[in-house]
Amino acid sequence: MPPKNSRLNVYILGIAIIVAAIMGYYLPTKRPESGVTLTPKQYIELVEKKKAQRRHFAQQQRAGETPIPEKSQQ
């Protein structure tokens, strides 16, 4: 029969895993944009949007301006 201390450790570990799972589900309010959950059309649009942003920032840097990141409107 295991001592009470090891059983307590198992309970604490279980509670920690449950709390971590709940926090992982509820805390991220904005998920990162990735191609994993997008349809092929949405993925192509995302790639084109990022390419346009890179070009815009490169033009601003060449012109000597500091690029200001725009907020996503999704």
Alpha helices by DSSP H, listed for the chain, are 4-26, 40-62
Please say whether the dihedral angle defined by the alpha carbons of residues 36, 40, 43 and 47, taken in this order, is positive or negative.
positive
CA angle 48, 35, 51 (to 5 degrees): 20
Helices (H) and strands (E) in the chain, counts: 2, 0
- Local confidence band at 2 (pLDDT 50, 70, 90 cut-offs): low
Condensed to tens digits (0 to 9), the pLDDT of residues 16-71 reads 999 999 988 887 766 666 667 778 898 899 899 999 999 999 888 888 765 566 66
The pTM (predicted TM-score) of the whole model is 0.42
72 pLDDT above the threshold of 60: no
> So what's the pLDDT on residue 55?
94
> So what's the pLDDT on residue 40?
87
